[in-house]
Homo-oligomer: A and B are copies of this chain.
């Protein structure tokens, strides 16, 4: 009687029934456990006869290799962590699904971590490390110390829409500043002189980048007295921010630059509904992201669309490369956004 069977009998029914293991399959097929293991690997040596016998036994038992045990011995969990934060914009879900699907095509699973705020990173990172993921994609900013921890554990990291000018890190991002500069250039070119900006949450690097880009270009074009109010990327905060702007800026601004589309939409609704302003005739509004609602006919936003497909593709392939070859040097990939001349702002006639 095999050890397995003996144990099962001793346990009786009180302990949850033992799952089917490669030993069970081996026993039924009359081969060794290593043979079973090899049949379930790609590229391992096994005769056709062996395969048939093992697969047949495995099917009969409903056997599936245990990815946990495999991960333990191969030192590859075939899981990556994806870290997002709630604050990071309603547009991320689309990114998340795309990234997950692409990883899946490479036999890699996604362990999802969703923070309430970008601050709760430390405990999350601890979990990430405990699960021995093969890599990390983060849409949340990490401190230098946190980065060092991951580096020490030899876990490659890709920063999504976050970067740092000095650190040696891998990042994929949309060129927020370039996009904002284009928007500002268009607005100023069309004659707008008085500006307000609705920024995102203060701990969001995306918002910081966008606001900086806009302010820099405005400065270069000698536009001054810019009112900046803070939102939280939501529709409601966009509406509230616009009301705040109207109350605090006299005369009213001619253009509003929102840090994302959702707030731009809120802003437009507040302008139209509460203040009876016509968009874009009386006030221009621009956003950023190019996410679904931007295309709604009622808004038709002038915005910059992030190339989500290419960015997620880049993030996935960069991470996989670094999992397979940890010595690869760091790389920062920056994608220009797609410039969308919508109907929510008066722009120049320039084709550029």
**Chain A residues with a Cβ under 8 A of chain B:** 16-17, 19, 62, 64-69, 71-72, 75, 77, 79, 82, 84, 86, 90, 92-94, 96-97, 100-101, 104, 109-114, 116, 126-127, 129-132, 149, 152-154, 235, 262, 265, 269, 272-273, 292-293, 295-299, 326
A297/B273 in contact, CB under 8 A? yes
Chain B nearest Cβ from A75, distance in angstroms = 7
Of B111, B235, B293, the contact of A110 (CB 8 Å cutoff): B111
A67-B131, A97-B86, A100-B113 given as contacts; is B153 within 8 A of A295 (CB)?
no
A16-B326, A111-B79, A130-B67 given as contacts; is B292 within 8 A of A90 (CB)?
yes
Of B62, B69, B84, B262, the contact of A97 (CB 8 Å cutoff): B84
Known: A68-B77, A93-B94, A272-B298. 9 other contacts (CB 8 A): A19-B132, A62-B149, A62-B152, A64-B129, A68-B68, A84-B97, A90-B93, A93-B93, A110-B111
How many angstroms between the C-alpha atoms of A9 and B67 in the bound complex? 29
A69-B72, A132-B66 given as contacts; is B100 within 8 A of A112 (CB)?
yes
Chain B residue contacts of A132, Cβ below 8 A = 19, 66-68
B297/A296 in contact, CB under 8 A? no
How many angstroms between the C-alpha atoms of A67 and B112 in the bound complex? 15
Give 5 A-B contacts (CB < 8 Å), ordered by A residue: A62-B153, A93-B97, A109-B111, A111-B111, A111-B112
B104/A114 in contact, CB under 8 A? yes
Chain B residue contacts of A100, Cβ below 8 A = 112-114
Chain B residue contacts of A75, Cβ below 8 A = 16, 19
Chain B nearest Cβ from A64, distance in angstroms = 5
How many angstroms between the C-alpha atoms of A129 and B109 in the bound complex? 13
Q: List 10 A-B pairs, minimum CB-CB distance, nearest first.
A: A93-B93, A298-B298, A269-B297, A67-B130, A100-B114, A110-B112, A97-B114, A112-B112, A67-B131, A64-B129
A295/B235 in contact, CB under 8 A? yes
Of B64, B298, B299, the contact of A126 (CB 8 Å cutoff): B64
Chain B nearest Cβ from A116, distance in angstroms = 7
Please, which residue of chain B has its CB at the minimum distance from the CB of A90? B292
How many angstroms between the C-alpha atoms of A86 and B98 in the bound complex? 9
Please, which residue of chain B has its CB at the minimum distance from the CB of A102? B114
Of B16, B113, B269, B293, the contact of A104 (CB 8 Å cutoff): B113
B326/A65 in contact, CB under 8 A? no
Chain B nearest Cβ from A22, distance in angstroms = 13
Chain B nearest Cβ from A138, distance in angstroms = 15
Chain B nearest Cβ from A58, distance in angstroms = 12
Chain B residue contacts of A64, Cβ below 8 A = 126, 129-130
Chain B nearest Cβ from A72, distance in angstroms = 5
Chain B nearest Cβ from A155, distance in angstroms = 10
How many angstroms between the C-alpha atoms of A73 and B67 in the bound complex? 13
Chain B residue contacts of A104, Cβ below 8 A = 113-114
Chain B residue contacts of A69, Cβ below 8 A = 72
